[in-house]
Amino acid sequence: MKTIDENKSKFSNPRKIKSHQYTSRRQTALNEFKKGNSVRLLRIGDNFIDGLNTFFSNDDRGKSYAIWKYHSEHKFHEHAELFFSINYIIEGDIDYAFQNIRSFEIEESSNLKLSLKRKMDSYFKPIYEKIWIDTNLEIIVDDSLLVLLNLPFKKNTDSNFTLVTWKTMERLKFFQTLNWDNLIDNIKVKGKNYICNSKYVLENIKDAEKSFSTATELINAQNKARIQYSEGDRKDYEIKNSEIEKETNLLIKEGIEKPKISIDTFGVIFLSNQKLPSKYFYKE
């Protein structure tokens, strides 16, 4: 294990954890800056926030799960009825615009993608949709069943699946008629198609298009004014910049019309009127 040489460290006190004051309100940060204080803005783009986001994105715990959920009044002809839960993130797609800007012979900023992401988010704020699907590929819309499926995990009656549990299920030949690979693939297709045609998602796309249209009209007017009142090299620069921005905005519009749909979490609930007995578990 390496030790810190305090005499050679660039920090005055390398053993002291470096920290900063934060605020989520921009005006507060500006007011403190005027007073000579350093207060960082708690937002995407800050190293701390981006670091947390990367850390949690790389950790797959909780992103997929299987639970045996007990409910005494649930009736089904097999040991349990299966329901699949999918949480989606729907956000504007910036990939087209990003590739377009990179194709121009201009100096690429290291924050280009982040800048485009913030711009897109200002028009189309990321939204989240959760759906439930059964093994017949039917979307669950029954309110009473949805309430039951969304009940919190009960430690005394519900059970998290482990590798041992799965092997026990195989040994006892539970659900052996299911082709899991095909079923999961079909559920993903069904879920994405449902999200693409969801009234809530379509309304958000429509609102984002209106916001984008209003903003780009103002941007185009500003670019036109800059070109009109510029001369020589500066005018050439403004014309080129305006052309790049128009092309980029067209691709941002396309990214709003065809948003990126990603699976955030995927789970399966085994709903049963039987508790999962301890004998269903064995040690290898």
Statement: residue 270 has pLDDT above 70: yes
Percent share of the chain, pLDDT over 90: 40
The pLDDT of 12-30, averaged and rounded, is: 72
Averaged pLDDT score across all residues of the chain: 83
Quote the tokens at residue 241: 């910049």
DSSP helix/strand/coil, 56: helix
Domain boundaries, the chain: 1-59, 64-280
pLDDT in tens, 51-75: 777 777 776 666 888 999 999 888 8
Count of residues making up the chain: 284
Distances (CA, A) of 206 to 97, 202, 228, 258: 20, 6, 33, 11
pLDDT in tens, 150-188: 999 998 889 888 888 888 777 777 776 678 889 999 999
Q: How far apart are CA 225 and CA 133, in angstroms?
A: 54
Single-letter amino acid code for the residue at 250: L
Integer-rounded Cα Rg, in Å, for the chain is 27
Q: If residue 208 lies in a helix (H) or strand (E), which one and from where to where?
A: helix 199-228
pLDDT band for position 221 (50/70/90)? very high
Single-letter amino acid code for the residue at 258: K
Query: Please, what's the largest Cα pairwise distance for the chain?
Result: 84
Going by C-alpha positions, the residue among 269, 8, 14 that lies closest to residue 160 is 269
The angle formed by the CA atoms of residues 205, 207 and 262, to the nearest 5 degrees, is 30
Q: DSSP string covering 97-129, please?
A: HHHHHHHSSSPPPTTHHHHHHHHHHHHS--EEE
The pTM for the full model equals 0.75
Distances (CA, A) of 202 to 97, 187, 260: 21, 21, 13
